A and B are shown apart, each in its own frame.
Chain A
């Protein structure tokens, strides 16, 4: 561990501010709490919101897992793990069941999380209304007044134009019948995992300076119309080429030389575990 920096890199004042914001976020599920996002030795947009949350949460008793697009071995995940380990000395794992804190980008692990685990999501664009309204002052007012007509209209327009809602990731959801929330760029496939979950979900957007949360056992409903229900991605007829799973989120891999398409589990740790059984 590098002891030239404070434990977990951030100074205690920064951690306290983030911790205060986290508690407010948990008390008001789905509401984006503003916080003073700190500079880190990593560019904004590379997971600084998630890292700041992880650094404010982590202690010597924790075990950390970091995934990026479901993979434990991608560049972003490996570097974040190295950085946190360098300034905390906590053990890192690739097994979902062993981790107390899981920092993730773009995926919720396939193995259901338990009540003693915290899932930290890196969020690039926390504001679900940004696609319909560019001004922060206006979106804040829209949230205050539960004025969500424009986002419903966006879904309706998509339905009229393409015959289905075409949003594949960052699919908006309604939290506790009050706040529309962007569940970060997780695929629609993972949205149902947020509803009445056992674990605590924390969302950190470093560049946009927002923190929000979904406590365990919270109502999270993906937006849908009465006559057009929410549908997650379907992988009917496809299976992972490595472990044979048919009920996981699959990545499509295209071999340009042979023109073949393969599918394999996006959650690499889950895939390995299935293969080892």
Chain B
């Protein structure tokens, strides 16, 4: 029998979750999941590591215009592949797709704001970086950070939706070398 990966569903998933929780609770902090991602396969092993940590048959996802990743996620997690506007988790591999997807992504309702989409966005290597200021829960006052340009663009797209809080979407960015950076819905990002 062929072994596809060595990612441990119990211990590696726990480690990835703790890094993810740390990143979500401390927006702007980069958390490393390289060791766990290396145990998976394909062109986006870090996305698969997140999928294996968060997804199963009770949630839905969409990996727009990426049939290979879609097939791999279904194979590993049995999650349902649906259209972007219905998805609980969006796996976005290309920044070009962001504008149309963010416009239609689930934002939750005022009563059930948790029924919103989590957008997992892959940031390609070699991007120009820019200085930004972060503020909001999880950030100590206003904190400076250096982030790739694509992140600023994604935040701009989110802000353009003018969601009425608590509605909104949460971002998980996957930086080169399998680093996580999260920007939850309440956190603001401004150019310096």
Q: Interface residues, chain A, CB within 8 Å of chain B?
A: 6-8, 12-13, 15-17, 19-29, 31, 33-34, 56-60, 115, 140-141, 143-145, 176, 178-179, 200, 213, 215-219
- A-B contacts, 5 listed (Cβ < 8 Å): A13-B58, A15-B13, A26-B138, A57-B17, A59-B11
From A23, A29, A143, A145, B186 is in contact (CB under 8 Å) with A29
Please judge, given known A-B contacts A27-B186, A216-B26, whether A12 and B166 are in contact too, CB under 8 Å. no
Assess the A19–B54 pair: CB atoms within 8 A: yes
Quick check: B138 and A28 within 8 Å, CB to CB?
no
* Bound: A75/B140 CA distance, A: 38
- Asked whether, in the complex, the Cβ of B9 is within 8 Å of the Cβ of A216, the reply is no
Binding site for A on B (CB under 8 A): 9-11, 13-15, 17-18, 20-21, 24-26, 53-56, 58-59, 109-114, 118, 137-141, 165-166, 170, 184-186
User: Contact: B24 with A23, CB < 8 Å?
Assistant: yes
| Closest residue on chain B to residue A175 by CB atoms | B137
CA distance A200 to B25 in the complex (A): 7
Closest to B184 in A: A27
* Complex CA–CA separation, A27 to B24 (angstroms): 7
User: Are B54 and A59 in touch, CB under 8 angstroms?
Assistant: no
Nearest A residue to B165 by beta-carbon distance?
A178
Residues of chain A lying within 8 A (CB to CB) of residue B184? 26-28
A16 with B54: CB separation less than 8 A: yes
Q: Is B111 within 8 A of A28, CB to CB?
A: no
B54 near A216 with CB under 8 A, answer no
A178-B166 contact in complex given A22-B21, A23-B24, A29-B137, C-beta closer than 8 Å: yes
Given contacts A21-B114, A23-B24, A26-B25, contact A60 B138 (CB under 8 A): no
Question: Which of chain B's residues have a CB closer than 8 A to the CB of A15?
Answer: 13-14
Residue of A nearest to B186 (CB): A176
Name the A residues within 8 Å of B114 (CB-CB).
21, 24-25, 28, 31, 33-34
A60 to B15, CA, bound (A): 9
Bound-state Cα–Cα, A238 to B137, Å: 37
- Which residue of chain B lies nearest to A115 when distances are taken between CB atoms in the complex? B26
- Please name the residue on chain B nearest to A60 by beta carbon: B11
Beta-carbon nearest neighbor of B166 in chain A: A28
Chain A hits for B185, CB < 8 A: 27-28
Which residue of A8, A31, A200, A218 is within 8 Å of B166 (Cβ)?
A31
Most buried by B among A19, A27, A60, A176: A27
CB pair A7 B137 closer than 8 Å: no
| Assembly CA distance A25 to B18 (angstroms) | 15
A6 to B141, CA, bound (A): 41
Q: Is the CB of B59 within 8 A of A20?
A: yes
Q: A29-B137, A215-B138 are in contact. Are A23 and B118 (CB under 8 A)?
A: yes
Chain B residues with Cβ under 8 A from A31's Cβ?
A: 113-114, 166
